[in-house]
């Protein structure tokens, strides 16, 4: 349950960051709503996950999923670069997250 | 030293404070402290990223936040030191820093301006 909550927290972080980019571009109420709901839900899920997972592990994976999720959304929806180094770094984050899950 | 780097370091300290709060806060005083830490750290990161490239600011911030959190839980909260865990966290951090610094995202387009 903690791990599911942690993965959700990372995904909501991506929603929050999308909202942040919208605020930069459109600066309307919808953008602020997307940003604030993403960040708040992300924090709630992260806090829940941390009740049973070590703090450092949970924080690292939260950041990792947020960053990888942001990069994947950028690649698939906003035409960002899919160069091999970006794919390699994404694979490193995911491998590390799976490893942390296995040893915990 | 550039003032923005001081903002980043102070911001990272508050980052570690709110991460600790998310795990350990249990009454309204500690939750209030956690919320204030969130506001301070985000304010400082935003100020720093107006002067420095966003990708760099985020990477340094995350690196300090991750390192600080892992250290804090071992030093302050007696979390057992497991080498495999530390290595995996280092691998994860390397991936995040690489993604943020290598370019190709909308952040790094901003850097190129």
Q: In sequence order, what DSSP letters do the residues of B57-94 get, joined into one string?
A: HHHHHHHHHHHHHHHHHHHTS-----HHHHHHHHHHHH
Q: Give B105's pLDDT tier (boundaries 50, 70, 90).
A: low
Residue A102 DSSP class: H
Q: CB of B98 within 8 A of CB of A89?
A: yes
Q: Give B54's pLDDT tier (boundaries 50, 70, 90).
A: confident
The answer to pTM > 0.90 is no
Mutate which: B31, B62, B73, B95, vs A, most A CBs within 10 A: B95
Contacts of A42 (CB under 8 A, 6+ apart): A9, A10, A12, A13, A15, A16, A62, A66
Residue A57 DSSP class: H
Query: Domain residues of chain A, as ranges?
Result: 2-103
From A43, A80, A104, residue closest to B105, measured CB to CB: A80
Query: Tens digit of pLDDT for each residue in A1-29?
Result: 899 999 999 999 999 989 988 888 888 89
Nearest to B97 by CA among A74, A3, A60: A60
**Mean pLDDT to the nearest integer, A50-68:** 93
CB-based contact (8 Å) between A26 and chain B? no
Kindly provide the ipTM of the predicted complex, given to two decimals: 0.88
């Amino acid at each position: 349950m903690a791990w599911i909550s942690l993965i959700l927290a990372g995904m909501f972080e991506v929603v929050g960051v999308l909202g942040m980019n919208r605020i930069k571009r459109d600066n309307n109420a919808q953008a602020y709503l997307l940003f604030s709901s993403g960040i708040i839900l992300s924090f709630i899920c992260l806090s829940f996950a941390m009740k049973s997972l070590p703090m450092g592990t949970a924080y690292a994976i939260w950041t990792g999923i947020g960053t990888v999720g942001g990069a994947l959304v950028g690649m698939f929806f906003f035409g960002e670069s899919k160069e091999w180094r970006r794919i390699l770094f994404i694979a490193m984050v995911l491998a590390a997250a799976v490893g942390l899950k296995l040893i915990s | 030293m550039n003032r923005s780097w001081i903002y980043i370091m102070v911001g990272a300290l508050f980052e570690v404070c709110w991460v600790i709060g998310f795990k350990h806060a249990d009454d309204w005083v500690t939750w209030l402290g956690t919320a204030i830490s969130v506001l301070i750290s985000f304010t400082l990161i935003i100020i720093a990223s107006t002067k420095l490239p966003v990708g760099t600011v985020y990477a340094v911030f995350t690196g300090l936040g991750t390192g600080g959190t892992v250290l804090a839980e071992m030093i302050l909260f007696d979390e057992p030191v497991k080498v495999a865990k530390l290595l995996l966290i280092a691998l994860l951090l390397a991936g995040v820093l690489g993604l943020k610094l290598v370019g190709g995202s909308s952040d790094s387009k901003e850097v190129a301006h």
